[in-house]
């Protein structure tokens, strides 16, 4: 059994947290993962009332801890962040994951309600700022992650080692993790656990279309692409007809504005991908871990396998150390 600051703080067995994942983090998956640490994504719900219902559905499926993710998006018409936060608090949620710009007011509110807060960030400087705001755990996102890896292009190996040296509170590793070997590596780098998104998309309990799950299994680490690089809002997504077209538009002489690709990158088109199973219908997130995913297990099978793999690898590491010869 693995015992870390994360398992103790959140009263979970396996030090694995499910990433929020818009259009993916629904009650069935969250409940299945909650033996470790499932996260509902508030922004997958159309309004705070719908979030209340999702929380109740999740609670009916599990008595284990789970949380709610609220990501602060750069958008002209922002969601009702305050409404989502209050709805979750009123439903008794005690674990939150925050991400995005200016999380201070949200973090302050959650802490005033006695909640535990994980904040996701892609740089050590942002992690230190969140640490000062009083978060309990940091989620450090390396360049390998799906979604937004920031603009510094620093891989997890260096980023996590820096975190071990410079952060005073527990942190979990995010981006590039899909198996027990990755979990063991993250723990060796000083993390208290890992955050997985793409790997949980490809499980029995995930609500996305079976065609997309099989597409992930068939793909390799070469099948993702970065969009919005020229707009300084980099996002790693699955490489398909739409994302390739977006990159081509960005490379045009004179560059591109968001308005030039707005229709192509519509979140609603991405949602349809998960519902109808056409991988080329829109933009959808996928991390480099698609190169490590070869099956579609239940969440329980996956977590038990990862726990066993990590324990075995950590146990075998001791054999690498031999006593120094006496002089």
Distance separating alpha carbons of residues 84 and 106, to the nearest angstrom = 11
Mark residue 140 as left, alpha or beta (left: phi above 0; alpha: psi -120 to 50; beta: remaining).
beta
Q: What is the pTM of this model?
A: 0.90
Q: Quote the pLDDT of residue 327.
A: 61
Cβ atoms of 285 and 238 closer than 8 Å:
yes
> Residue 25: its pLDDT value, please?
66
Q: Which pLDDT belongs to residue 28?
A: 76
Residues of the chain with pLDDT under 70: 23, 25, 35-41, 43, 74-76, 326-327
The pLDDT assigned to 37 comes to: 65
Measured CA to CA in angstroms, residue 241 lies from 48, 244, 276, 280 at distances of 34, 5, 16, 6
Query: Which domains does the chain show, CATH number per domain?
Result: 5-208+295-310 (3.20.20.70), 224-276 (no CATH)
Strands 224-227 and 235-238: antiparallel
């Amino acid at each position: 059994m693995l015992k870390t600051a994360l398992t103790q703080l959140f009263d979970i067995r396996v030090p694995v947290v499910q990433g929020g994942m818009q259009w993916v983090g629904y009650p069935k998956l969250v409940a299945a993962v909650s033996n470790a640490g499932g996260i509902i994504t508030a922004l997958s719900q159309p309004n705070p009332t719908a979030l209340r219902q999702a929380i109740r559905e999740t609670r009916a499926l599990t008595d284990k801890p789970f949380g709610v993710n609220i990501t602060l998006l750069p958008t002209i018409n922002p969601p009702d962040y305050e409404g989502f936060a209050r709805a979750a608090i009123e439903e008794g949620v005690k674990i939150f994951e925050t991400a995005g710009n200016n999380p201070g007011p949200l973090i302050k509110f959650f802490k005033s309600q006695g909640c535990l807060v994980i904040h996701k960030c892609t740089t050590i400087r942002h992690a230190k700022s969140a640490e000062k705001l009083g978060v309990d755990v940091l989620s450090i996102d390396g360049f390998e992650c799906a979604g937004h890896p920031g603009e510094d292009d620093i891989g997890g190996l260096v980023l996590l080692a820096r975190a071990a040296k410079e952060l005073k509170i527990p942190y979990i590793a995010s981006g590039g993790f899909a198996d027990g070997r990755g979990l063991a590596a993250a723990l060796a780098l000083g993390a208290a656990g890992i955050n997985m998104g793409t790997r949980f998309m490809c499980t029995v309990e995930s609500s996305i279309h079976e065609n997309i799950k099989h597409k992930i299994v068939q793909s390799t680490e070469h099948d993702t692409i970065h969009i919005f690089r020229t707009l300084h809002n980099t996002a790693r997504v699955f490489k398909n007809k739409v994302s390739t077209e977006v990159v081509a538009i960005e490379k045009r002489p004179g560059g591109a504005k968001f308005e030039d690709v707005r229709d192509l990158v519509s979140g609603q088109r991405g949602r349809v991908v998960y519902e109808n199973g056409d991988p080329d219908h829109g933009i959808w997130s996928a991390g480099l871990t698609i190169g490590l995913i070869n099956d579609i297990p239940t969440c329980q099978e996956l977590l038990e396998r990862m726990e066993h793999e990590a324990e075995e690898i950590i146990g075998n590491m001791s054999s690498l150390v031999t006593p120094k010869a006496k002089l």
